[in-house]
Structure 1
Amino acid sequence: MNIDSHQHFWKYDPKRHGWIDERMKQIRKDFLPGDLKPHLDSNQIHGCIAVQAEESLEETDFLLDLADKHSWIAGIVGWTDLAASDLDLILDQNSKQPKLKGFREVLQSRDVEYFLRPEFIQGLKKIYQKGYSYDLLIYPNQLLDALQLIKKCGENRIVIDHLAKPKIKSGIWRDWKKNLKPFSEREYIYCKLSGMVTEADWKNWTYEDLIPYMEIALELFGPDRLMFGSDWPVCLLAGEYEQIFEIVNTFTDSLSNSEKARISGQTAQEFYQISNFNTGYGPLVKE
């Protein structure tokens, strides 16, 4: 099974999607399942994980509604305020939503005091107790602080989005690798091969620019804890879906069939606990 572990849907609203600034005019419009499905089909990708792009409870409901209508949306990573006083009620209300797999906040825009608050830590523990995972969206300079958060929450499923956004455009990687390594030493932490082209030069990136970062991710996490994600439609700022898919597909051609299958979908299936989801395709492996 091949899974795109990271993509987004939205009905564009300039107030609710204020992060889409003037540089991003090409994604200032609606992106819905009918726009994504042809790309999945053409690349033999069986399903996807839709990840929150807006910080509101309505966002989670919006994504769950889409998932109910489209069986190939295999899972949802929603949003909730982990420090909210009514978190228990919110989790109870969603307890019968099998496609709700985990949660995410946009921690890249927060300081360390925000996510090391006792209320936030307690909220993260609560979602773990309910069986959910957590997507960690941070920048490289937040890695050491985020590690302190993880140490306080026990051994629970967490995935680092977009390789923690290394500075690909400037070619800087040594400190990023050093600070990412402690995460990889914890077997319950995974990583997404996603979001790379938008951390590179949007107009002039090359495949060779991305290789060192993929090689480091593979070295640290191995194929059993790496998963492909397109970051569509954000990726359109720097490349078409097919280009993004081909980056990881080409990189994994040097691996064994089983290792390639892990990164192309099996790791995501395991991490997000996706079962009974079969569209009839086999894994994308070398002939």
Structure 2
Amino acid sequence: MIIDSHQHFWKYEPVKHEWIDDAMSVIRKDFMPSDLQKVYAENGIDGCVAVQADQTLEETDFLLDLADKNDFIKGIVGWVDLRAKNIEEVLETYSKYPKLKGFRHVVQGEPDHNFLLRPDFLRGIAALEKYNFTYDILVFPHQLGAVLELVKRFPNQKFVIDHIAKPYIKDGFYDGWAALMFEIGKCDNVYCKLSGMVTEADYTTWTPEQILPYMKLVYASFGWKRIMFGSDWPVCLVAGNYKKIKELVTEFIAQFSSTEQASIMGENAKIFYNIK
């Protein structure tokens, strides 16, 4: 089974989706399950994990509703305010939904470099394990020091790094990102998504060869049992079509055994997100 571990849905609203700048104008429109089903049929994808793109409880409920109506949505990663005083109560409520697998916060947008390590946020992370919720880490490379401390502090919590932590591929920066990712990869509770890479390169001129060193480092750091394919659809459409995004990963892993390939393309996502 091939699982796309990372994609989004939205009904486009200019204010809510202000992060979609002029360079990304091609995705200033609605993207719903009916659109994605066609794409998956063309590309041999069996299911997906839908990830929040807006930091509201309404977003979580919107994704739950879509998952309820579309069997190919195997799980969702929603949003709750992990800093909330009543976080236990909120998690208790959401634990009743089997397709809700975990949560994410757009930490890359937080001006505080150590946002992940603030006491109120740590309290929220500490509450996740009881309900077997995962946590998706969305950060820029300069926030990886805080990530390393976070994942070491909660060795029993399942974490996954989204978009290989968004290295500055366009600028060719590598070493600082690589050193920290290698350290984080030593923590068995952390996975990494091979997703969102083309949008960190130049949208129009990127090549697989340019992205290869980054994928190799992720493979060396996390191993084949803790990396998973993700498209980042529809955001990926600013830098290519779905076929090209999928091929970037499948061609990289073509040299691996069939077991390793199957794990990266679906089995690891099923294990991490507890997809039946």
Classify the TM-score, shorter chain.
Answer: over 0.9
Q: Secondary structure at the match of 2:169?
A: coil
CA distance in 2: counterparts of 1:103 and 1:88, whole angstroms: 14
Query: What is residue 201 of structure 1 aligned with on the other side?
Result: 202
Which amino acid in 2 is paired with 1:64? L
CA distance in 2: counterparts of 1:58 and 1:136, whole angstroms: 21
Percent identity between matched residues is 51
Query: What is residue 103 of structure 2 aligned with on the other side?
Result: 103
Which amino acid in 1 is paired with 2:98? P
TM-score by length of 1: 0.94
Query: What is residue 130 of structure 1 aligned with on the other side?
Result: 131
Q: Deviations over 1:90-134 (max 9, x none)?
A: 112212100000000000111234322111101011012211000
Query: What is residue 266 of structure 1 aligned with on the other side?
Result: 267
Query: What is residue 282 of structure 1 aligned with on the other side?
Result: none
Query: What is residue 66 of structure 2 aligned with on the other side?
Result: 66
8 A contact 1:136–1:161 mirrored in 2: yes
Query: What is residue 37 of structure 2 aligned with on the other side?
Result: 37
Query: What is residue 142 of structure 1 aligned with on the other side?
Result: 143
Shift of 1:248: 0.5
8 A contact 2:185–2:221 mirrored in 1: yes
Shift of 1:171: 1.7
8 A contact 1:5–1:48 mirrored in 2: yes
8 A contact 1:121–1:153 mirrored in 2: no
8 A contact 1:184–1:220 mirrored in 2: yes
Instruction: State yes or no: 1:19 paired with 2:19.
Output: yes
8 A contact 1:194–1:230 mirrored in 2: yes
8 A contact 1:50–1:75 mirrored in 2: yes
The alignment of Structure 1 onto Structure 2 pairs a total of residues equal to 275
CA distance in 1: counterparts of 2:262 and 2:189, whole angstroms: 20
Q: Secondary structure at the match of 1:169?
A: helix
Superposed CA RMSD in Å reads 1.0
Which amino acid in 2 is paired with 1:188? N
Q: Deviations over 1:211-235 (max 9, x none)?
A: 1111111111111001000000000
Q: Deviations over 1:41-68 (max 9, x none)?
A: 2221110000000000000000000000
Which amino acid in 2 is paired with 1:254? Q
Query: What is residue 10 of structure 2 aligned with on the other side?
Result: 10
Which amino acid in 2 is paired with 1:63? L
Which amino acid in 2 is paired with 1:32? M
Shift of 1:86: 2.1
8 A contact 1:193–1:214 mirrored in 2: yes
Q: Secondary structure at the match of 1:224?
A: coil
Which amino acid in 2 is paired with 1:9? F
Alignment of 1:205-284 (within 5 A): 205-275=206-276
Which amino acid in 2 is paired with 1:255? F
TM-score by length of 2: 0.97
Regions of 4+ moved over 6 Å? none
8 A contact 2:152–2:187 mirrored in 1: no
CA distance in 1: counterparts of 2:180 and 2:55, whole angstroms: 27
Instruction: State yes or no: 1:172 paired with 2:173.
Output: yes
Where structure 1 has 5 or more consecutive residues not aligned to the other structure, the ranges are 276-287
8 A contact 1:121–1:152 mirrored in 2: no
Which amino acid in 2 is paired with 1:78? G
Shift of 1:150: 2.2
Q: Secondary structure at the match of 1:223?
A: coil
Instruction: State yes or no: 1:52 paired with 2:52.
Output: yes
Which amino acid in 1 is paired with 2:136? D
Q: Secondary structure at the match of 1:247?
A: helix
CA distance in 1: counterparts of 2:192 and 2:271, whole angstroms: 13
